[in-house]
Chain A
Amino acid sequence: DGGITQSPKYLFRKEGQNVTLSCEQNLNHDAMYWYRQDPGQGLRLIYYSQIVNDFQKGDIAEGYSVSREKKESFPLTVTSAQKNPTAFYLCATMEQGSYNEQFFGPGTRLTVL
């Protein structure tokens, strides 16, 4: 089945620890995105990548890092520098040449204790 996988669904970490959230896709889409969503809020863009080995900061990149070594994978690291990391994290993809419809993974809810 084609789709976007984010694992785990729920993740707990202690304050001060870095944590990496995975996002894998087999849709063969070129662009990938990481969003953060807080309760009652819309989607805020953290990082995005339009092609392998290239990525750009979004609106709230501070305290986060990414890599795009393979087309299928776009992991997000939440570092200890992120002051308020507890949130719902969504990964999305977009197909090249499309009208910019984004497809979303199921999300990871990160709780930092």
Chain B
Amino acid sequence: GQNIDQPTEMTATEGAIVQINCTYQTSGFNGLFWYQQHAGEAPTFLSYNVLDGLEEKGRFSSFLSRSKGYSYLLLKELQMKDSASYLCALNAGNNRKLIWGLGTSLAVNP
């Protein structure tokens, strides 16, 4: 079967760096998404990793290790507006469905 695991909650300080981990088990793998979701709003796309390695996009970076079933989202120079839920999602099959993690709620404190 398919399974995704993320920490439920994290806290960090404004200006710091935080790493949000996502581990998964799946028989098929096409890629892994990270989405950001502010409370009461829609998820928005952050990144998509297909190959192993780190992809950097401004203050946000995403890493993937396919052999280890592991990804992380790295947020640098944290700002208060980064307080949100971060969802990890697997693109695992040919049926055009995503498998969603439960999300990590990040609180950024001053």
A positions within 8 Å CB-CB of B: 31, 33, 40-45, 48, 50, 58, 88, 90, 94, 99-107, 109
Contacts and interface: CB of A to CB of B under 8 A. Distances in A.
Contact of B98 (A41, A50, A102, A107): A102
Majority secondary structure, B binding face: loop
A99 B97 contact: no
Contacts of B50: 99
A25 to B, nearest CB: 13
Chain B: number of interface residues, binned into ranges: 20 to 34
Contacts, number: 50
Contacts of B100: 42-44
Contact of A42 (B40, B44, B101): B101
A111 to B, nearest CB: 13
A104 B44 contact: yes
Contact of B30 (A40, A43, A100, A109): A100
B31 A104 contact: no
Looking at B96, B101, B102, B103, which has the most chain A CB atoms within 10 Å of its CB? B96
Interface in B71-110: 87, 91, 96-98, 100-103, 105
Contacts of A48: 96-97
Nearest to B96: A31
